[in-house]
Amino acid sequence: MTKKTSTIAKPKADATAARPDFSRAPVNAALTPAQKIDLYRTMVRIRRFEERSLRAYQAKKIGGFLHLYIGQEAVAVGCCSLMGKHDHVITAYRDHGHAIAVGMELNPLMAELYGKITGCSKGKGGSMHYFDPTRNFWGGHGIVGGQIPLGTGLAYALKYQGKKGAAMAFMGDGAVNQGAVHEAYNLAALWNLPVVFVIENNGYSMGTSQARSSAGELAKRAEGYDMPWGQCNGHDVYEVRACMDKYLTLAREESRPSTVEIDSYRYRGHSVADPDNTYRSKAEVEEYRRTKDPIQVFEVILTAEGVLTEALMEKIHTDARAEADTAADFAEASPYPTVEDIQKDVYWEADHPTERKSQGRLFFD
């Protein structure tokens, strides 16, 4: 194997600029050095996985959609790192970061992108439909805002079953304009459900900026439903954790819903097939990369804390690259689903014909 030169971007002047210090928030002060490195490693693994998947897409190994999360890693990692046994996560189609942050392995994730039977959804879901019920991860949904009523249902189940947990229902800034989101807000508030609605505000819904599509403060709409709400910067994983801890505790301890808007940015196009230069400038993207990249920001913080060294940083990136390459090899070597597999896992009734009680036709001929 050829030796790769390091591609770690050295922290630039602006990434090191003074920021509010969230390291002392109780939820961060309680972290061990190893746990802090784990947060950093998970962000790096997400990025390396996605960079590798982009190369596979460009090599025509992956079909369909591929919505990259690059630039937003601190949001999923910060939120999911707070999960307890009874906490649940549901999100939209930009789901790779959340899947890795809840602990899913890279092999079945990459295989899913390749449409292989070894994928986490047996190759039938693709990029937008990662699932892992064993890790309380409920997808991966393609209909904008469609996951929000489902996430509210996860919270309803927790309350119904008397479990002390919270559901985190993630959505983009574009999704807050969907009617279903408001129906979900209403029921969550009316029934005091333990859900945190997380708006990942990356500034754009496809090619439409927030300024061109949405009136007012997005999180503030929660006020109309008497729900508490908050906002935070999603470029600093410590800040995400400090903010989300408050609202998750409210959900778990008092069964109160809330809305949290997390400011973020995506560096890539809406999906890899979309042109990216028609609605924002290269300078804008570059400015975010230079000043707010979540991985670089955390590198600066952990280096100042004496937790991260240059050598360890290098090793984490090298290992993550190798892990992503291994996942691509695994996906390549895996078989496709067979024709017989196509109609499996679609309807419970079709997979359990002897127990079926419903009438009618399940599939078209």
Ligand X SMILES: Cc1ncc(C[n+]2csc(CCOP(=O)(O)OP(=O)(O)O)c2C)c(N)n1
Give yes or no for a contact between 260 and 219, defined as CB atoms under 8 angstroms apart. yes
- Per partner kind, with CB cut-offs from 5 to 8 A, the member of ligand X, Mg ion, none near residue 241 is none
Burial, 182: exposed, middle or buried (Cβ in 10 Å; 0-12, 13-18, 19+)? middle
The reply on whether position 273 binds ligand X by CB under 6 A is: no
The reply on whether position 173 binds Mg ion by CB under 5 A is: yes
110-123: string of b/e by CB count within 10 Å (b at 16+)? bbbbbbbebbbbbb
Q: Output the smallest distance, CB 109 to ligand X, in A.
A: 18
Stretch binding Mg ion (CB under 5 A), from 1-9, 47-55, 84-92, 194-202: 194-202
Binding mask 175-214 for ligand X (x = CB under 6 A): x--------------------------x-xxx--------
Q: Which is nearer to ligand X, 194 or 269 (CB)?
A: 269
> Which residue's Cβ has the minimum distance to ligand X?
172
The secondary structure of residue 114, as a DSSP letter, is T
Backbone angles phi, psi at 349, to 5 degrees: -60, -35
Which residues does 98 contact at the CB level (< 8 Å), separation at least 6? 76, 80, 89, 91, 130, 137, 170
Backbone angles phi, psi at 227, to 5 degrees: -100, 140
Give yes or no for a contact between 27 and 240, defined as CB atoms under 8 angstroms apart. no
Give yes or no for a contact between 90 and 84, defined as CB atoms under 8 angstroms apart. no
Binding mask 78-117 for ligand X (x = CB under 6 A): ----------------x-----------------------
The reply on whether position 143 binds ligand X by CB under 6 A is: yes
Q: Which is nearer to ligand X, 277 or 358 (CB)?
A: 277
- Per partner kind, with CB cut-offs from 5 to 8 A, the member of ligand X, Mg ion, none near residue 207 is none
Q: Which residues bind Mg ion (CB under 5 A)?
A: 172-173, 202, 205
Q: Which residues bind ligand X (CB under 6 A)?
A: 94, 142-144, 172-175, 202, 204-206, 270
